[in-house]
């Protein structure tokens, strides 16, 4: 069997001089605490602190990176045990599901998923042979047995991984029971929530009308009116802040914003609430709500994350059967300059506004995003994200953004993952790539090694804490 390849110099430059500088920089930052300010891990894990059940539950079920690849090769999501929205049958045997991953592990060659998984298998579970059909049973039994120990409970793993703080992401209608369970304990400062109001803002959702009604019931506000609806969202933001939230999160299809009159807002809201809005009206409502939410951030100081550019639920058949976040979202072309102008025209010069922009459209890095962040004080650039959360994607980001926005208009790295055990591996990739990029600048005599070392620390630790107000 082939051994897991995790060379100590992985991802560093091939030439010796640059590699030597990169290694020296990495040595100083490799063990810094992890700040994980944006992600989708389950808060139940940290509140209840129960052991994970088995290898399949941990590595396959929550990770759409994994089953997306398997599905692309003709493997049914029902065979991987992905739960169905429509109540249909799906595979329940975790061993069979694990065997499918092992039989098809070769599909992940040279992908970020392969690097993350190999790192976890090697560093966390002490496995040395690469996963394959022949060792699938050994892998499953070995991992599942280790998961039963106290040192593999979620809180123990948080300590082992040196995760200083981790943010989960919850919808506006979430009652936050798990964050409430740790409130007023030391863990409340380490596991915080993030306010994502898409469930009550995205007018294209099939449940938007009922969700607006639920929002009113939850807050005691009259969400049949425009002002009552806005007041209800403000109320939910306040509850999220009480449970540790410092940021909001907005996954709109586009970056479009609008600045309508109050009369226009009322008429548009009434149309949305009627359930009879068309696609153009739904987009305009989302656009107006980004501006309204920016105004709320000016009021309460919450950092605003905007990450457009994904065609959500592209595979309509899978959406009907399995719902959202099942690996069938696709990047698409995105405009930022014209799209954000209404919001920035109203709030872009406000000193109390902080917006972090993400994109899946890399063509906008140097043309739109870096110039915008290089001008507006309220804007920072989020790291390579989702489809570009890879060594190559991270390098492209640094090369295209740094010349215009510099390092100080970026926010370090975030892992944006449901796969808890991959977090250290993901951050390690980012640290290695940043050191690689900085080393190139050093050997080209563009910055000193001392300055590179200072920037490496900021990219690894300081920028994220500052940007997300986690100090």
DSSP letters along 61-108, please? TT-HHHHHHHHHTT--GGGGTPPPTT-------HHHHHHHHHHTGGGG
Based on the fold, state whether residues 35 and 75 are members of the same structural domain. Answer: no
Based on the fold, state whether residues 94 and 234 are members of the same structural domain. Answer: no
Q: Which of 132, 151, 170 is the last residue of a domain?
A: 151
List strand residue ranges (DSSP E) for 201-273, in order.
247-250
Where residue 62 falls among pLDDT bands split at 50, 70, 90? confident
Q: Is residue 345 part of a domain?
A: yes
CATH code at 83? 1.10.2020.10
Based on the fold, state whether residues 61 and 23 are members of the same structural domain. Answer: no
Based on the fold, state whether residues 168 and 37 are members of the same structural domain. Answer: yes
CATH code at 33? 3.20.20.140
Based on the fold, state whether residues 111 and 214 are members of the same structural domain. Answer: no
Residue 162: Cβ within 10 Å count: 12
Lowest-pLDDT range, 15-29, 282-296, 308-322, 444-458?
A: 308-322
Where residue 469 falls among pLDDT bands split at 50, 70, 90? very high
Closest by CA position to 132, among listed 121, 124, 123: 121
Q: Is residue 5 part of a domain?
A: no
Interval 443-452 mean pLDDT: 98
**113, two tokens:** 């998923």
The count of structural domains within the chain is 2
pLDDT value for 410 = 98
Q: Is the dihedral of CA 163, 164, 170, 173 positive or negative?
A: positive
pTM recorded for the entire structure? 0.96
Based on the fold, state whether residues 112 and 179 are members of the same structural domain. Answer: no
pLDDT value for 1 = 83
**82, two tokens:** 């992905």
Strand partners, 35: 165
Residues with Cβ within 8 Å of residue 368, at least 6 apart in sequence: 335, 336, 337
Based on the fold, state whether residues 361 and 426 are members of the same structural domain. Answer: yes
Q: Which of 119, 151, 183 is the last residue of a domain?
A: 151
Lowest-pLDDT range, 16-20, 133-137, 311-315, 397-401?
A: 311-315
Residues counted in the chain: 471
Q: Is residue 104 part of a domain?
A: yes
Based on the fold, state whether residues 184 and 286 are members of the same structural domain. Answer: yes
What pLDDT, in 10s, does the model give residues 166-205?
A: 999 999 999 999 999 999 999 999 999 999 999 999 999 9
The 3-state DSSP composition of the chain as helix, strand, coil percent (nearest 5) reads 55, 5, 40
Q: C-alpha distances in angstroms, 195 versus 7, 245, 311, 312, 380?
A: 39, 7, 22, 20, 19
**Quick one: angle between helices 94-103 and 136-146, nearest 10?**
130
Q: Are 301 and 355 in contact (CB under 8 A)?
A: no
Where residue 78 falls among pLDDT bands split at 50, 70, 90? very high
Residue 88: is its pLDDT beyond 90?
Answer: no
Closest by CA position to 336, among listed 293, 310, 301, 371: 371
Based on the fold, state whether residues 230 and 169 are members of the same structural domain. Answer: yes
Q: Is residue 8 part of a domain?
A: no
pLDDT value for 64 = 86
Closest by CA position to 7, among listed 136, 127, 139, 118: 118
The Cα–Cα gap between 201 and 287 comes to 10
* Segment holding 195, helix H or strand E: strand 195-196
Closest by CA position to 39, among listed 137, 168, 172: 168
The Cα–Cα gap between 76 and 82 comes to 9
Ramachandran class of 166: left when φ > 0, alpha when ψ lies in -120 to 50, beta otherwise: beta
Enclosing domain of residue 350:
16-50+152-467
């Amino acid at each position: 069997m082939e051994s897991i390849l995790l060379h100590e110099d992985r991802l560093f430059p091939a030439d010796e001089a640059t590699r030597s500088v990169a290694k020296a920089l990495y040595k100083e930052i490799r063990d810094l605490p992890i700040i994980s300010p944006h992600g989708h891990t389950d808060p139940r894990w940290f509140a209840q602190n129960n052991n994970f059940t088995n290898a399949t539950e941990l590595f396959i079920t929550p990770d759409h990176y994994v089953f997306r690849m398997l599905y692309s090769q003709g493997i049914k999501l029902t065979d991987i045990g992905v739960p169905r929205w429509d109540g249909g049958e799906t595979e329940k045997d975790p061993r069979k599901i694990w065997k499918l991953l092992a039989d098809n592990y070769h599909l992940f060659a040279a992908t970020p998923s392969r690097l993350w998984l190999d790192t976890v298998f090697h560093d966390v579970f002490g496995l040395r042979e690469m996963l394959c059909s022949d060792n699938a049973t050994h892998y499953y039994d070995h991992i599942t047995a280790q998961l039963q120990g106290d040192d593999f409970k979620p809180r123990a793993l948080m300590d082992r991984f040196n995760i200083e703080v981790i943010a989960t992401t919850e919808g506006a209608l979430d009652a936050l029971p798990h964050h409430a369970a740790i409130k007023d304990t030391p863990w409340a400062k380490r596991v915080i929530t993030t306010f994502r109001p898409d469930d009550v803002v995205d007018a294209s959702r099939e449940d938007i009308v009922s969700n607006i009604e639920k929002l009113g019931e939850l807050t005691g506000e009259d969400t049949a009116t425009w002002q009552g609806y806005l007041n209800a969202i403000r109320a939910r933001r306040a509850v999220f802040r009480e449970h540790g939230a410092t940021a909001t999160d907005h996954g709109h299809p586009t970056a479009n914003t609008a600045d309508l009159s109050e009369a226009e807002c009322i008429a548009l809201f009434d149309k949305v609430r009627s359930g009879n809005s068309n696609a153009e009206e739904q987009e305009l409502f989302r656009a107006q709500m980004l501006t309204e939410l920016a105004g709320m951030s000016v009021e309460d100081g919450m950092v605003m994350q905007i990450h457009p550019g994904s065609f959500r639920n592209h595979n309509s058949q899978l959406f009907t059967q399995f719902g959202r976040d099942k690996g069938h979202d696709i990047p698409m072309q995105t405009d930022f300059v014209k799209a954000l102008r209404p919001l920035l025209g109203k709030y872009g010069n406000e000193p109390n506004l902080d917006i972090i922009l993400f994109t899946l459209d890399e063509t906008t890095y140097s043309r739109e995003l870096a110039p915008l962040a290089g001008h507006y004080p309220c804007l920072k650039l989020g790291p390579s994200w989702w489809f570009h959360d890879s060594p190559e994607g991270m390098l492209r980001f640094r090369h295209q953004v740094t010349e215009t926005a510099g390092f100080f208009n970026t926010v370090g790295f975030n892992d944006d993952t449901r796969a808890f055990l991959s977090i250290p591996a993901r951050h390690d990739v980012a640290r290695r790539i940043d050191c690689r990029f900085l080393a190139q600048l050093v050997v080209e005599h563009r910055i000193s090694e001392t300055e590179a070392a200072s920037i490496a620390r900021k990219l690894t630790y300081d920028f994220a804490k500052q940007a997300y107000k986690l100090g």
